[in-house]
Structure 1
Amino acid sequence: MEAHVAELWSTQEGPPDGPVMLLLHGAGVGAWMWRDQVAVLRERYRVIAPDLPGHDHSAGVPFTSSAELVEDLARLVRAHARGREVAVVGFSYGAQLALALATSHPDLVRHVVAVSALTAAMPLEAASRALVRAAAPLGRQRWFARLQARSMFVPDDLVDDYLRTVRALPTRDLVAVLAANAAFRAPQTWSAYPGRALLLAGDREVKPLVRGLRALQEQLPGAELEIVPGAGHGLPLERPTWFTTRLLAFLDPTTR
């Protein structure tokens, strides 16, 4: 099933009366990155996977700000939850949105899972954005897109989805999203979040990202933190079976 709520294209799968799970992709990919997870999660959960502004089927929706996007996502979830339990799972930029959504709407989000969320400053941020802007036309070339896809652990059978996404993604939106990603810091109310939290990253991630997640766990001692040996920036795509199993174990500890 497909729908347009709050202007964003999204899919909804699974039992309409089941607990709600919102899956938020990272910059430069799309809802398709959750394919392997949705195939399992939809057996129990009402899974909602939107394409974020500028991305894939939402390419015509301009990116304004993370704050406005969080409110759009809150409306999207409330339209489906109707008082039912909600879990929000995000990767990279989507993980930042998940943290912001959980802390700004703690009455709505019972579980939050943040995968590879950057919450600390990175060196040479301005130079990196300039490089992205300059390299954007290359991203529309199949050979270059395949190299990028490989670095992001996109499997071969999803490369066409990746290529479709990067070809449709306006450069201005990509640069704006990356700027928002770089500017994100841990929400001030994080330490008071009343729900359950799981923080994940690979140990091959950049050091500021891992340090930031450790700081989040210190601020909210009840949060679970796992740094996965040998993994890079892309756990849901790099280790899809492990990731889905870990997610389900967090949501239902009795399955461990």
Structure 2
Amino acid sequence: MVAGFSLAAQLAMLLAATAPLARRRRFAKLQAKELYVPGELLPDYLSDSARMSRETLLAGVGEKIRFTLPAGWADVKNPALVRQRRALSRRKEAGLPSCSQLPGETE
């Protein structure tokens, strides 16, 4: 940790310094693979990555860094359900179909 800077501040500085990588096609393709972006959405993902400003990227990542689990998640008695929710959230973020909710849930 760099003296005088919080971990969140250090992450923001690192992200700001590396943000231009998202505009590089090769990096964006590797990132899309890690995020499970489906092949049919890859052209849109690459285009969006190339156009995204540093400020927009920092704002989006900042929101994810500041996210906290809702009250009551610590009381969940079914860890498999929590794992399934996390997996569905990742798939939804990646734009994969049929993953908007858990069975039996309503939006």
Q: Give the TM-score taking structure 2 as reference length.
A: 0.65
1:144 match: 27
Deviation at 1:153, TM superposition (A): 0.8
1:165-180 to 2 correspondences below 5 Å: 165-180=48-63
- Gaps of at least 5 residues in structure 1 are 1-122, 186-211, 220-224
The one of the two structures with greater contact order (alpha-carbon pairs below 8 A, sep at least 6) is 2
Report the CA distance shift for 1:245/1:231 in structure 2 as closer, same or farther (over 3 A).
Answer: closer
Report the CA distance shift for 1:217/1:231 in structure 2 as closer, same or farther (over 3 A).
Answer: closer
The answer to which structure has the higher helix fraction is 2
The answer to which structure has the higher strand fraction is 1
Alignment partners' CA distance in 1, 2:50 and 2:56: 12
1:250 match: 105
Q: Give the TM-score taking structure 1 as reference length.
A: 0.31
1:95 match: none
Are 1:228 and 2:59 an aligned pair?
A: no
Identity of aligned residues (%): 28
What is the aligned length? 96
Contact 1:140 1:167 in 2 (8 A): yes
> Residue 36 of structure 2 aligns to a residue in which SS?
coil
Deviation at 1:246, TM superposition (A): 2.7
Deviation at 1:150, TM superposition (A): 0.8
1:240 match: 97
Contact 1:231 1:238 in 2 (8 A): no
Deviation at 1:230, TM superposition (A): 9.3
- From 10, 29, 34, the counterpart of 1:127: 10
RMSD over aligned CA atoms reads 3.4
* Cα-to-partner distance string for 1:139-165 (whole Å, 9 max, x where unaligned): 111110001101111012211111111
1:68 match: none
